[in-house]
Structure 1
Amino acid sequence: MKSLILLMAVALQASLSFSQTTGNKELFIEVPEQGKVIVYVDDEMIGSSKNLFRFYDISSSNPTVTIMLNNKQLAKAKVQLKPDYRSILSYSRRSGIQVVKTLPIFNAGNYALDDWNGTIGNTPGRPSRAVVRIMDEDSFNELHRIAKKEAFEDARIKVINAALNRNMISTNQLVSLLKTFAFEDNKLSLAKSAYLSIADKENFFKITDVFTFKSQKEDLLDFIKLKSGR
């Protein structure tokens, strides 16, 4: 009996240990250096022209981060990552690689879309809702990838709307997002909710080309007419 209890205790401990090390882990790092910067997290490599590096779906809880500048090693360190958390790191020549903050990846069961745009030189924390940025190509590509991963279109709409709450996009970018949807009603819903976040509203009529059925096209044209006050 004692042996059975011991085996059960060992199995429980192993189960708890496994649950604490699995789960999605993300790591974002800012490297304010001039030149060709490449960041490795273990064997995964990312380059960025904006000095902001985003790593998703990291398996290790204690990966090695290596920063290369012009093909020379600038810094190397192991970092501790928490399952279901996004770790924000920064690098400086004086302090090396440091953890700035950790943020939960999920909010009430929904993916918390990244709106991080760097921390150095800014007040730490997420920007207020009054701050609006036009989404650059790298950020838009990430939004497109993250949204497309959602299996259900209603969840995809929520992800996109969360991003557009603080960012502006172009009509062409919205067209690209709408093409990931199969259902016309979902396309129409997203097109309407995204209208206020479109930087070039004069081109918004082009969205009608995404729709197959005449009824949705006419609905959207009526919506545009109402919003433009014509």
Structure 2
Amino acid sequence: MAPQEVEALWETVQRQSFDDNKLAIIREALRETSIPADDARRFVATMAFDRNRIELAKYMYARVADRQNFYRVYEALQYQSSIREVQQYIDSYRP
């Protein structure tokens, strides 16, 4: 996804009040494309609830263009247990 497209998506997501709406928009926008890990971190951090951050981080893993930098997404998670849950998901991930 081009940087200007990521910014347009970011602005759309920021206008949403609820995590469910944000998640739906992000999923639709990223269904067939990928974004850099730093942008994925930004989107994960915008979620109000940790369970939604975890869900989005798991979804983002397959859509991060630079997976070697996925560790940066962990900065958006509030708890060590959340990071472990995402890491376990990644360990078992099969495309």
TM value normalised by structure 2 = 0.90
**Which amino acid in 1 is paired with 2:35?**
I
**Which amino acid in 2 is paired with 1:165?**
R
Q: How does 1:1-230 map to 2 (within 5 A)?
A: 135-227=1-93
1:167 and 1:197 in contact (8 A); partners too: yes
- In the TM superposition, residue 163 of structure 1 has moved relative to its aligned partner by 0.5
* Matches of 1:150 and 1:140, distance apart in 2: 16
**Which amino acid in 1 is paired with 2:65?**
A
* Matches of 2:58 and 2:51, distance apart in 1: 11
State, as a whole percentage, how many aligned pairs show the same letter: 23
* Matches of 2:87 and 2:32, distance apart in 1: 25
- In the TM superposition, residue 204 of structure 1 has moved relative to its aligned partner by 1.1
Q: Flag as ranges the 4+ runs of structure 1 deviating above 6 A.
A: none
* Matches of 1:163 and 1:199, distance apart in 2: 15
- In the TM superposition, residue 216 of structure 1 has moved relative to its aligned partner by 0.6
Structure of higher CA gyration radius? 1
- Aligned length in residues: 94
Unaligned runs of 5+ in 2: none
* Matches of 1:179 and 1:205, distance apart in 2: 14
TM value normalised by structure 1 = 0.39
- In the TM superposition, residue 153 of structure 1 has moved relative to its aligned partner by 0.4
CA RMSD in angstroms, aligned pairs only = 1.3
Identify, as 1 or 2, the structure richer in strand.
Answer: 1
- 1:83-102 Cα shifts (integer Å, max 9, x gaps): xxxxxxxxxxxxxxxxxxxx
- In the TM superposition, residue 206 of structure 1 has moved relative to its aligned partner by 2.0
- In the TM superposition, residue 199 of structure 1 has moved relative to its aligned partner by 0.7
